[in-house]
Chains A and B, each alone.
Chain A
Amino acid sequence: MKNQHVQLDKEGRLRHFITTEGLSRNLLTEILDTAENFSTVGNQQVKKVPLLRGKTIINLFFEPSTRTRTTFELAASRLSADVLNIDVNTSSASKGETLLDMLRNLEAMHSDMFVVRHNQSGAAQFIAEHVAPHISVINAGDGSHAHPTQAMLDMFTIRKHKPDFSALRVAIVGDIMHSRVARSEIHALNILGVPEIRAIGPQTLIPPDAEHLGVHVHHSLESGLKDVDVILMLRLQRERMRGALLPSESEYFARFGLTVEKLALAQTDAIVMHPGPINRGVEIESAVADGPQSVILEQVSNGIAVRMAVMSMVLGRSPQSEESR
């Protein structure tokens, strides 16, 4: 697989992090274990470890995002790296500079890592294929393709509550068709050995080849939630209404919104997750989002530890085995 060549080095270690697809269970588990080590750094008086001191990490965001960028920035800061945020909408793209020219310029600033967010699928991979050999690329979301660090922080959060992936029923609810989060989660859940993954949503928002991804499709929230251990809610992007894929927000909420009554169909100790930002009253009601089974804010804290883990694994490969591309 092409992805494999780009994101792994000759020894099978993570060189870039573009997608969870095709990675080994060992590698995903290594990310989770490493994140476990970093999860205590936030409790220190000095919330910092000197691991990436002297490294320069550039957050290259072609698409606006607050949470993802902030947690990447915090993760890099807690590793003692220097961080530069570049918001490309307001930058040289509008002056007609090509992407490759921009990359050359950023490389000339002796940077070590690009964290890339882009509205086009494949953008992070394209950049990884064209950067200088000493630079690593982390995909912070590309189009509807992948959002691997979000998927891994979700896996980390699941493992904290339900340590045995092989005993889980997991439901993903919402716009799976357009969701890079869902795609990355499905790959990660399959790789980690979750036996039953359900995709729940209206027909127009479930990809036609969903069964090939290794999921069971449900068009009814009631049947889909029965006995599940983990519920992964997705954000409903309001532009989907305009695309005529959905009749209205209120009808969507009536059929697929997670309410206290519907949550009761799942296991009594089921956890509710959401990548944020949440649309209260559209995909989830406040009583659930703020309720005892919600781990939505834990996901945010865990996101920092997981991103620290990925950054340090990618930049911490020993140089004697550095491939020469």
Chain B
Amino acid sequence: MSSHQDITPLLEQMVRNLQSLLKERNITDPLMVGIHTGGVWVAEVLHKALSISEPLGSLNITFYRDDFTRIGMHPQVQPSMLPFAIEDRHIILVDDVLHTGRTIRAALNEIFDYGRPASVILAALIERNGKELPICADVVGEVLNLSQDQHVKLSGPEPLTAIIQGGA
């Protein structure tokens, strides 16, 4: 079983929530970083909608995963690109699906290897149940309650759709 979902309204929701969060925290010039691959697709949309002046950064967290010795190398993705200094900057970290929290743990470790940001905001298109680490998103497009054998993934970049698979 699989179902596709149009994510345009979720992205619009995220943009509104990010705008009010940035305003609330008095952040005027944030940087944005997407996590490969789905997170970058989502970030491209948000980056444009929020008119962020600096280019979009991207993270490939392969080398920071905690399951490297179990699953080995996955070299197909692009290298990390942070085309700016992150020292003392406010960063919006974007991923497509927040599930166990392990990807975000790896991404935070990688970001801190580039410098010390002033703050990090986590924005996820979809937050699903199954958390294994104490990591929450600040901005979420949609919260999904899925059974263990169900998976949600993003397909893209054009058109961007969310697909829920399994759990027949």
Q: What residues of chain A have their CB less than 8 Å away from a CB belonging to chain B?
A: 30, 33-34, 36-41, 44-46, 48-51, 309, 312-313, 316-319
Given A45-B115, A50-B64; A39-B69 close (CB under 8 Å)? no
Give complex CA distance A312, B80 in Å.
Answer: 17
CA distance A143 to B70 in the complex (A): 36
Report which of B68, B73, B115 forms a contact with A34, defined as CB distance below 8 A.
Answer: B73
Please provide the 9 A-B residue pairs with the shortest distance between their CB atoms, ordered closest to farther: A49-B63, A34-B75, A46-B113, A316-B72, A316-B73, A37-B79, A40-B79, A318-B72, A51-B63
Known A-B contacts A33-B76, A34-B75, A45-B114; the reply to A40 vs B68 at CB < 8 A is: no
| CB closest residue in chain B, given A36 | B79
Give how many B residues have a beta carbon under 8 Å from the other chain's beta carbons.
23
CA distance A319 to B77 in the complex (A): 23
Q: Given A37-B63, A318-B70, decide whether A48 and B75 contact each other with a Cβ distance below 8 A.
A: no
Instruction: Determine the chain B residues whose CB is within 8 A of the CB of A45 once the complex forms.
Output: 113-115
Interface residues of B (CB under 8 A from A): 60, 62-64, 68-73, 75-81, 109-110, 112-115
A30 to B75, CA, bound (A): 7
In the bound assembly, the distance between CA atoms of A50 and B60 in angstroms comes to 13
With A44-B114, A45-B114 in contact, is A37–B75 under 8 Å at CB? yes
Which residue in chain B gives the minimum CB-CB distance to A52?
A: B68
Number of A-B contacts (CB under 8 A): 56
Q: How far is the CA of A40 from the CA of B82 in the complex (A)?
A: 10
Q: Is the CB of A316 within 8 A of B68?
A: yes
A63 and B64 CA atoms in complex are apart in Å by 35
Chain B residues with CB under 8 A of A36: 75, 79
* Further 19 A-B residue pairs, CB within 8 A, beyond A51-B63, A316-B69: A34-B73, A36-B75, A36-B79, A37-B60, A37-B77, A39-B79, A40-B81, A44-B114, A45-B115, A46-B114, A51-B64, A312-B63, A313-B73, A313-B75, A317-B72, A318-B69, A318-B71, A318-B72, A319-B70
Q: Which residues of B contact A30 (CB under 8 A)?
A: 75
Contact present for B69 and A319 (CB under 8 Å): yes
Name the residue on B nearest A37 (C-beta): B79
Other-chain contact of B62, A37, A39, A46 (Cβ < 8 Å): A37
Closest to B71 in A: A318
Q: Give the docked Cα–Cα distance between A59 and B73 (Å).
A: 23
How far apart sit A309 and B79, CA to CA, in the bound complex (Å)?
13
Chain B residues with CB below 8 A from A46, complex form: 112-114
Q: Whose C-beta in chain A lies nearest to the C-beta of B77?
A: A37
User: A37 vs B110: C-alpha distance in the bound complex, in angstroms?
Assistant: 14
Bound-state CA distance A318–B72 (Å) is 5
Residues of A within 8 A of B80 (CB): 40
CA gap between A319 and B115 in the complex, in Å: 34
Shortest distance from the beta carbon of A320 to any chain B beta carbon, whole Å: 8
CB of A312 within 8 A of CB of B73, answer yes
- A50's partner among B63, B76, B115 (CB-CB below 8 A) is B63
- Chain B residues near A44 (CB-CB < 8 A): 113-114
8 pairs, CB–CB < 8 Å, chain A vs chain B: A37-B78, A40-B79, A49-B64, A50-B63, A51-B63, A309-B75, A313-B73, A317-B72
